[in-house]
Amino acid sequence: MERQRLILKEQVPLSKYTTFGIGGPARYVAEPQDLEELREALLFAEEEGLPYLILGGGSNVLFPDEGFQGVVIRLARMNQVELKGNILEAEAGTTLKRLISVARDAGLSGLEPFIGIPGELGGAIVMNAGLKGHEIGDRLVSVTLLTFDGYVEELPPQELGLAYRKSRVRDMGIIIKARLQLTPGDPSHIDQEIERYLQHRKDTQPYGQKSAGCVFKNPAPEVSAGKLLDDAGLKGYRQGDAMYSEKHANFIVNLNQARARDVLALVELGKQRVREMFGYELEEEIVVIDAWGNNL
Ligand code: EPU
């Protein structure tokens, strides 16, 4: 197959592409910059008889120390953004940070609460990323998918099965782009809001340390997994270079050279303690991938 433009790298450590800074080598990493190249990357995996997985900002994922014997398709180069009135249309690989900044410069409000979330738009939709009272799904007008049959479909958010930190998107296709509804706002007020949300995040979370955000979902809307783990005495508990954050117990931070197996040991310990002490069954929010590319 002729491949003139698609960027295809071999044996790249996945630690480079995750905010956790953890993960062994991927056999291939493809970096398409448009739909055509995305199709090309998928075809390449098929021709090589290799599994593939789609990677956004890598901010919610744990790759195994052994790496992945397949094709990681990174969407980071698919990052075109366009404003159409109060609607922001952006490709899946656009970082939330850039979206917030484009909206701010255009005097459009609505994305401020998401400041400090390190991911990209596609992943944020798949996970329905958010914080108390705000989810990315609330802002969606439509999402354009490349379906597994190879069709391009634009769907309203109601068809994506969006709920607390989940959606059905992974079973439906690959997000190419999305349209977000914003509202006009005064840029100086938007700036203040951005600053306020960011400060709160810095005050309450291990901002700037290597992590994958909250490890577990809250078991109920009014029950914080972080509080349960804290009450279970896990703040500061360490395995190798992985540690339950001293600032917020629902974050595991990579102090330097943490391995996936260290993180997984802490995950199991957290589940076990919370089950035994408080009777709650914690469920991972982070996506744990095995060496075959399956979500565990
Ligand atoms: N708390 C503790 N100890 C801790 C952590 C929290 O006592 O170690 C207490 C806090 O003091 C607070 C309560 O638990 O009274 C709730 O904590 P917080 O406001 O931090 O909210 P959370 O439920 O722990 C959720 C989201 C975060 C989001 C924050 C901010 C989940 C799993 N977590 O955390 O999302 O940033 O609200 O609104 O839904 C993420 O999804 O990756 C994530 C970080």
Q: Whose CA is nearest to atom 26 of ligand 1?
A: 131
Distance CA 274, CA 270 (A): 6
* 18 and 66 inside one domain: yes
Q: Whose CA is nearest to atom 3 of ligand 1?
A: 227
* 122 and 57 inside one domain: no
37 falls within a domain: yes
Total domains, the chain: 3
Report the DSSP pairing between strands 252-254 and 130-131.
Answer: unpaired
* 97 and 165 inside one domain: yes
* 94 and 178 inside one domain: yes
DSSP, collapsed to helix, strand or coil, labels residue 195 as helix
Residue 27 token pair: 């056999």
Whether residue 217 has its Cβ less than 6 Å from ligand 1: yes
Ligand 1 pocket: which of 209, 214, 287 to mutate (most atoms within 8 A of CB): 214
pLDDT in tens, the chain (296 residues): 555 689 999 999 999 999 999 999 999 999 999 999 999 999 999 999 999 999 999 999 999 999 999 999 999 999 999 999 999 999 999 999 999 999 999 999 999 999 999 999 999 999 999 999 999 999 999 999 999 999 999 999 999 999 999 999 999 999 999 999 999 999 999 999 999 999 999 999 999 999 999 999 999 999 999 999 999 999 999 999 999 999 999 999 999 999 999 999 999 999 999 999 999 999 999 999 988 878 76
Report yes or no: 57 and 17 within 8 Å, Cβ to Cβ: no
132 falls within a domain: yes
Give the structural domain span for 249.
Answer: 208-288
* 147 and 69 inside one domain: no
CB neighbours of residue 46 within 10 Å: 11
Distance CA 258, CA 126 (A): 26
Angle at 115 between CA 177 and CA 227, to 5 degrees: 115
197 falls within a domain: no
Ligand 1 centroid vs 165 CA: distance in angstroms? 13
Residue 127: which of 71, 161, 97, 167 has the closest Cα?
A: 167
47 falls within a domain: yes
